[in-house]
Amino acid sequence: MLLIAFLVIVVQLSDVLQYVWGKLFGRTKIALNLSPSKTVEGFVGGVISATLIGASLWWITPFTPFQAGLLAFIITLMGFFGGLVMSAVKRDRGVKDWGNLIEGHGGLIDRLDSVVFSAPIFFHIVRYWWSLS
């Protein structure tokens, strides 16, 4: 259960921190056609910040601080790509949000697209890479 909490906390924090860093320092658009508000500065700041937070949460995992940081880095990258993939699907379908369940945040899938994309990667890394080492 704590590994699931680690995954969700790190990926959701990465999303929030990418937004914050992008609002504070964002100048360079990263994927203008897919998600016009995402910036390189937000992406880099959010991934680095969430990776450091993930490394500091090593104590709730069976991993060393380095391993927890490496996992956090990988899942924040996958979460970012998950957001881009889901944005591409939404653009293709001509919709802005997946629903209106959460006011101002779109639908539930809009909040969890990064977790949904990064969770299988997290599972396979933990299950097959760490179990072999």
CA pair distance 19, 79, nearest whole angstrom: 13
Phi, psi of 31 (to 5 degrees): -150, 75
Confidence of residue 40 (pLDDT cuts 50, 70, 90): very high
Tell me the average pLDDT of the chain.
Answer: 87
**Helix (H), strand (E) counts: the chain:** 4, 0
pTM (predicted TM-score) = 0.87
Contact 15, 9 (CB under 8 A): no
- Quick: pLDDT tens for 85-105: 888 887 787 776 655 555 555
Contact 119, 82 (CB under 8 A): no
Query: What pLDDT score was predicted for residue 107?
Result: 59
Contact 17, 48 (CB under 8 A): no
CA pair distance 115, 122, nearest whole angstrom: 10
